[in-house]
Chain A
Amino acid sequence: MTATDTAPVSAARPRRRRLKPESLLDHAILICGALFMLTPIYLALTTASHDKVLTQREGLQWDFGSETLTNFNNAMFEPGGFTGDITGATMLMNSFILGVGFAVGKIILSMMAAYAIVYFRLRFATLAFWVIFTTLLLPLEVRIVPSYEVIQSMGLTNSYTGLIVPLLASATGTFFFRQFFLSIPEELVEAARIDGAGPFKFFVDILVPLSRTMIAAIFIIMFVYGWNQYLWPTLITTEEGLFTLVRGIRQIVQAMAEGSEIPDYGRAMALALIAMIPPVAIVVTFQSWFVKGLTESDK
């Protein structure tokens, strides 16, 4: 790289790369894909900048209006819902609690499970692992009724605990961490043993720091996954104070519609956009960590 940078000017400079005809098609496909994904977002943005009456009368809007600030302000801070004790900000907060609690809990739980399976001579460790693994076939949707029954009988409906804990068990996380731990050289474990690190110290001093890119990658996946949860929160939280953004948007619009008011589409669109920002921000910020975590490790 530096060699070409410092090459004498007299040397023929490489001509600007022309777009090759065959890559034209590639780009066309990519552009189409991007437009396909971005257009609805653009439409949400423009619609969110108009008065609700206009939207109700003329449908989705393609150009920018003048109500952007009002709509976003309403979305975030205007109380809504049936009881009127929830704002966009509270829902955002709830979503964060769910997303972060979900991701952190999953990581802690699955990391410890993988640690036990890989490093301790447990009887039936392999069996235990495969049992955990087969729970991949039993996502929440399949076991939602019994799960609800359990949480309900424990009196945990309408609480953060009830919202987060039943979602924590993660075969995916356990699997990823197990594979990662298996790739850590045995000698490192032995060196640590000779250095006087017990099981706890080894976990905290060696394994956790070594897994940090892995942790970051799984955090991103799980945060987005938790953030986007819809069914479980809908079932378990009936108090509006505990609504998350993803489910709350609809509730707000519906509450107004049923209250024979004009549905506030601008506000709903604004909320939808707000709901999109944190996952996108996290993925964009930690993108390099994410790739690192899944593809390489500095062992």
Chain B
Amino acid sequence: MAQLTVTDLSKTYPNGFTAVKPCSFQIDKGEFVVLVGPSGCGKSTLLRMIAGLEDITTGEMRIGDRVVNDTDPAHRDIAMVFQNYALYPHMTVRKNIAYGLRNRKVPANEIANKVAQAAEMLNLTDYLDRRPSQLSGGQRQRVAMGRAIVRDPALFLFDEPLSNLDAKLRNQMRIEIRALQRRLGVTSVYVTHDQVEAMTMADRIFVLNEGRIEQIGTPAEIYHRPASTFVASFMGAPPMNLLTGRGTGNGAVRLDGGQALSVPTDTETDRPLLLGLRPEDMALDGAGRIAFDIEIVEELGAHRLLHGRLSDQPFTVSVPKDTEVSTGPVRLVAKPGAVSLFCAEKGHRL
């Protein structure tokens, strides 16, 4: 059952700037969807339109089976967690969590129960009478979550909730949020610019670029079968290698700069192409058919990154930590099915 249905939705600001180009999608009940993209790609605008904080220019939005285009945020049955937490600084944690319920005239004893439950779930019981300024970043984030949980909404919205936390805490909160969402089974839309967050948390990822949804898919699909060169280079660190070349017409691509690589699909002769290879899909093999010249070896502990040139184009290979390497020419093999082909002009997958 679809919890959020969006049809031909778009957003154009009064100054003529189109932040979100017309898009349609459905989000199922209990699903965790991550909107990811570089800053200015329209992901926050899309989220804010779902929340009702931005007006919808065209299209239709349904939460459950209710059209909410002109519904006030308070009546959309949503809860939102903000980047800067947006806690009320003059209220205690208890009051912060209860405020939304109080405004909805929920009976006092019910509020108390719900707040206690949420606090228990989020390990905030000992902090209920503190002010937000007396809490750490992670705790504040949890209060913001608590405020969302007690409302028991149809939809959770997260607007880059972890970007103000340090790296270690971010990893921890990432897992906490995901576990909590699983437990509560609430449909969630999560905005981030961090592709690691997107990959690790999402059931489905929406990759946005310049106001357009480039690809919708599971993290594995997005990673292994990127729909465009943008997705290929945005998702993954280091990003997918993109080599320029031309089709030869017989199942191979001749790279600009020399070598020919065989590809699974037939290629039009002389068609300009981009050939994508993930760094970890390559392996060193003395008998390999691909020549690669290592210039720099980057030691990352768990693995090593070899930066160099392949047919005179920049290329990166990731090898396990126990592979012995040094700079200089080597031979490579690509794992089966590792090659992605893109149209060089439009960037879409072939």
Contacts and interface: CB of A to CB of B under 8 A. Distances in A.
Interface of A: 185, 187-188, 190-197, 201, 205-206, 209-210, 212, 298-299
B168 interface: no
Given A187-B82, A187-B83, A298-B133, A193 B73 contact: yes
A188 B86 contact: yes
Nearest to A206: B88
B104 A196 contact: yes
B202 interface: no
Contact of A194 (B74, B88, B91, B133): B74
Interface of B: 51-53, 72-74, 78-80, 82-84, 86-91, 99-100, 103-104, 133, 147
B15 to A, nearest CB: 15
16 contacts: A187-B82, A187-B84, A190-B73, A190-B82, A191-B80, A191-B82, A191-B87, A193-B73, A194-B52, A194-B79, A194-B100, A195-B100, A195-B103, A196-B100, A298-B133, A299-B89
A20 B51 CA distance: 63
Nearest to A208: B90
Nearest to A194: B73
A194 B84 CA distance: 15
Contacts of A195: 74, 99-100, 103, 147
A27 B74 CA distance: 60
Contacts of A201: 103
A205 B103 CA distance: 10
B88 A196 contact: no
Contact of A187 (B78, B86, B91): B86
Contacts of A185: 84, 86
B211 to A, nearest CB: 21
B86 A191 contact: yes
A194 B101 CA distance: 11
A194 B104 contact: no
Contacts of A187: 82-84, 86
Secondary structure of the B contact surface, majority rule:
loop
Contacts of B100: 194-196
Given A197-B103, A201-B103, A190 B53 contact: yes
A298 B84 contact: no
B53 A193 contact: yes
Given A194-B74, A195-B74, A195-B103, A298 B80 contact: no
Nearest to A193: B73
B73 to A, nearest CB: 5
Nearest to B72: A193
Contacts of B80: 190-191, 194
Nearest to A187: B86
A206 B53 CA distance: 19
B74 A210 contact: no
A196 B78 contact: no
A188 B73 contact: no
Given A190-B80, A195-B74, A205 B99 contact: yes
Contacts of B72: 193
A196 B74 contact: yes
A194 B82 CA distance: 11
Given A187-B82, A188-B86, A298-B89, 15 more contacts: A187-B86, A190-B82, A191-B87, A193-B74, A194-B51, A194-B52, A194-B100, A195-B99, A201-B103, A205-B99, A206-B88, A206-B90, A210-B90, A298-B133, A299-B89
Nearest to B132: A298
Nearest to A210: B90
Nearest to B133: A298
Given A195-B74, A196-B104, A190 B99 contact: no
B135 to A, nearest CB: 13
A298 to B, nearest CB: 5
Contacts of B83: 187
A185 B88 CA distance: 11
B90 A194 contact: no
A274 B103 CA distance: 48
A205 B52 CA distance: 22
A196 B53 CA distance: 13
A296 to B, nearest CB: 12
Contacts of A194: 51-53, 73-74, 78-80, 100
Among B51, B82, B83, the most chain A Cβ lie within 10 Å of the Cβ of B82
Nearest to B103: A196
A211 to B, nearest CB: 10
Contacts of B88: 188, 191-192, 205-206
What 6 A-B pairs have minimum CB-CB distances, sorted nearest first? A195-B100, A196-B103, A196-B74, A187-B86, A191-B86, A209-B90
